[in-house]
């Protein structure tokens, strides 16, 4: 990973794609939500809600 990039159109930062006027989720994170296993206990529900709460801007 490079320490710096000059004149980049987009950059990935903390699991998000940052561009000129837009902030979007990384496609790997979207795949993680899409392929989430069926929830079977309260611990799994809490984990999913925590994950969803972090990315609530994009949902």
- Does some domain include residue 1? no
**Looking at residue 1, what is its pLDDT?**
60
Report the predicted TM-score, pTM, of the whole model to 2 decimal places. Answer: 0.59
- Does some domain include residue 2? no
- Does some domain include residue 5? no
- Does some domain include residue 30? yes
The mean predicted confidence, pLDDT, of the chain is 86
**Looking at residue 56, what is its pLDDT?**
84
**Looking at residue 30, what is its pLDDT?**
83
Whether the Cβ atoms of residue 51 and residue 43 lie closer than 8 Å to each other: no
Weakly modelled stretches of the chain, pLDDT under 70: 1
- Does some domain include residue 15? yes
**Looking at residue 38, what is its pLDDT?**
92
- Does some domain include residue 20? yes
- As a whole-number percent, the residues of the chain with pLDDT over 70 amount to 97
- Does some domain include residue 23? yes
Domain carrying residue 50:
10-58
Q: How many domains does the chain have?
A: 1
Beta-carbon contacts of residue 55 (< 8 Å; ≥ 6 apart): 25, 29, 33
């Amino acid at each position: 990973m490079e320490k710096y990039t000059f004149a980049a159109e987009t950059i990935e930062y903390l699991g998000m794609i940052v561009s000129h006027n837009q902030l979007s989720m990384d496609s790997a994170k979207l795949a993680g939500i899409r392929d989430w296993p069926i929830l079977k206990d309260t611990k799994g529900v809490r984990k999913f809600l925590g994950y969803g709460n972090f990315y609530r801007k994009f949902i």
